[in-house]
Each structure stands twice: as C-alpha cells, then as structure tokens.
C-alpha cells in the first residue's frame, strides 16, 4: 500500500484543483479567476429500430455532441480586457460577437517554481474552449454589512472542447 503513489522513488499525488490559469487567446490583463465550473460535453443518443427487425429493442447510435456553458467567477477589477469582451458580447447594440479560444490550464504547486505547468507526455494539461463568447454576465452582489470580495461571473458558450491527454 505504501507504493500506491510512487513510481521508482518519485511520488505521485492527485492534482489539486485550486491552482489554475485561464487565458483568452488575444486578450491581455485578464485578472485572476476564483472558480471555473461546467466544462462538459455530451453526446445525444438516437434510438432507431427498423420495422422488419427481429429484435424489439432499438439500436442506439451517437448523435450530436453538445457542450454546456462554462461559468467563470472572478473578483471585480477595473480596466481589464475581459470587461471589454463582456461588454461587446452582452451589449444591446453590437456588431459581430467577438469569439476567442479560452484555455484553462492546471498549475502544479508541487513543482516548486510559481506557475509550473502540469505536463503530461502529450504536453500541458489544459482544456481549450474553441470559438467562445460571453453568453451571460452577473454583477457582484453588494452588501454593506460584509467585507467579502465583490465577485462577478460570466457564462461562456463555445463550439468545441479540446480535452487534455493526461
């Protein structure tokens, strides 16, 4: 049992979910995110049965792939590119909605150096949301009786998910 987390003297522990980096391909000055939830993909199941089939059970075949929206929570900061992106997407008057690729990457705190990337044999451990755009924005709740950080959130819709090969 002592060797459950070791390999030739090297210790392997499960990665923690508390250290991550979110980047948007062309935006700078993003600030930091406190939470990312909802990265998911599902495949519709299509049931089909031919009328002359000898079986009374339908055949199940894969259908469309669907992705849920991803929610990002972050402390309120002024003057960042992320605010401009949000404004362009949720404004009542707008042109074409700007789409970006969003990368969510795990950072390994056990490596010693700050912001050490978690690398697998196929590269960094990161999820990429392709052609993403802001679909929803929530302003922070305001309460003069607390000293909590003002947390904003945005929901991002995207077209394709690239899952890391960890």
- 96 has a pLDDT exceeding 50: yes
Q: Go through the chain and tell me how many residues it has.
A: 166
* Bridge partners, residue 37, by sequence: 71
72 — pLDDT class (breaks 50, 70, 90)? very high
pLDDT of residue 110: 63
User: Is 27 or 110 the better-scoring residue by pLDDT?
Assistant: 27
Q: Give backbone dihedrals phi and psi of 86, rounded to 5 degrees, phi first.
A: -60, -50
Judge contact between 136 and 90, C-beta under 8 A: yes
Among 10-14, 104-108, 143-147, which is the least confidently predicted range? 10-14
- Per-residue pLDDT tens for 108-156? 766 555 555 555 555 578 999 999 999 999 999 999 999 998 999 999 9
- 158 has a pLDDT exceeding 70: yes
Judge contact between 132 and 160, C-beta under 8 A: no
- 106 has a pLDDT exceeding 50: yes
- 1 has a pLDDT exceeding 50: no
Percentage of residues in the chain having pLDDT higher than 90: 50
pTM exceeds 0.75 for this model: yes
pLDDT of residue 75: 86
Q: How many CB atoms lie within 10 A of CB 27?
A: 15
Domain positions in the chain are 6-162
5 — pLDDT class (breaks 50, 70, 90)? very low
CATH topology of domain 6-162: Elongation Factor Tu (Ef-tu); domain 3 (2.40.30)
């Amino acid at each position: 049992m002592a060797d459950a987390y070791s390999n030739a003297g090297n210790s392997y522990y499960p990665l923690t979910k508390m250290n991550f980096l979110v980047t948007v391909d062309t935006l700078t000055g993003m600030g930091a995110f406190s939470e990312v939830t909802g990265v998911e993909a599902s495949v519709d199941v299509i049931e089909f049965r031919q009328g002359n089939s000898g079986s009374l059970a339908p055949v199940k075949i894969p259908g469309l792939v669907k992705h849920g929206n991803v929610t990002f929570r972050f402390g309120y900061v002024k003057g960042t590119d992320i605010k401009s992106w949000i404004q362009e997407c949720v404004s009542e008057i707008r042109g074409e909605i700007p789409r970006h690729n969003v990368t969510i990457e795990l950072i390994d705190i056990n490596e010693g150096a700050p912001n050490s990337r978690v690398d697998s044999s196929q590269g960094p451990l990161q999820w990429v949301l392709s052609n993403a755009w802001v679909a929803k924005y929530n302003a922070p709740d305001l309460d003069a009786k607390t000293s909590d950080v003002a947390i904003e959130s945005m929901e991002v819709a995207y077209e394709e998910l690239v899952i890391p090969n960890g």
